[in-house]
Amino acid sequence: MITDEFHLGKIDKEAFGDLGCFVGGYVGAYFTLCNVILLFITFRDYRKAYTKQSFETHFFELLKMHRENVSELQIEVKTEIKVEKGRKVFVLLYREFRFILQAIEDIESSFSNEDKCIIAYCCLYYGTGRNSTRLLKNALSHYDKNEFVNKLLDKIKNYFEQLDPIENEDKKWIKHELFGGHITRLRHLFLHLYETFNYVDTNCTDTNEKEKYFKIIRAQLSLHEQTLLLFHSISHISGKWSKDILLNYNIAQNFPLDFVDSEKVLDIKKLFNLD
């Protein structure tokens, strides 16, 4: 018998069995609990990694679509019989914006700089034409004192041809047809850009991670594109791109303030509370 092998004393089989049941039950339950906890942690980490991977896959797909939208932009340069594409289009649009701004100054100088920029951007955005003129007049109805809008439309038709290219620096750079409107170019582009920012803002909860993705998006914007977006946000046609949203997404962060003349055009620093 097994008890005969022990010389220190006789083992109580019943007590020994109870001890075994106790140890096996509690220790076994402990290891089972540990396995459950480890399984939960593994599943949680897997789910977190999968969620981040899914988020980044869609995020970079949205980013790719934005780059494609920009690359598909084009504008005909009639004086050179060619087409400007991609980011160069924003350069031409900003020059046209400055040109319209000068025309507004010549007609009605009593408006504030911010109002002049809003009017100029609306003119740039809608342009003139069968439908565009109606949209533009509706957008500028707030400023239509003394038939200002009609005067502006009449003036800008022949304003460009009357300018002296020596005295007006924009005259030598603007080579595309003016006042045709750019709503088809800008509306879809800015709407998709907003959805990209909003996707990050909605689906990313970590503040540091969110800012990291915001920086990636901002890095895709050229200086002229960023500038037009600033003017878009303060206009009456901003839609989802309100000034508050722009600040929330830090679009104006690190913007070179000297790029826009604070006295003649707009004080970006003051308007967007930049340090």
Consecutive sets of 10 residues in the chain, 275 residues long: mean pLDDT of each? 48 57 64 72 67 87 92 77 80 88 83 90 86 83 78 72 56 66 88 92 88 91 91 84 83 83 86 77
Question: Which amino acid type is present at position 141?
Answer: S
What pLDDT shows up at residue 270? 85
Report the alpha-carbon distance of residue 105 to residue 259 in Å, rounded.
20
Query: How many other CB atoms are there within 10 angstroms of residue 181's CB atom?
Result: 19
Report the alpha-carbon distance of residue 36 to residue 48 in Å, rounded.
18
- Residue 145: enclosing H or E segment and its boundaries? none
What pLDDT shows up at residue 225? 92
What pLDDT shows up at residue 151? 81
Do 226 and 103 contact (CB within 8 A), yes or no?
no
φ, ψ dihedrals at 272, nearest 5°: -105, 15
Cα dihedral 29, 33, 35, 39, rounded to 10, equals 150
What pLDDT shows up at residue 2? 46
Report the alpha-carbon distance of residue 28 to residue 33 in Å, rounded.
9
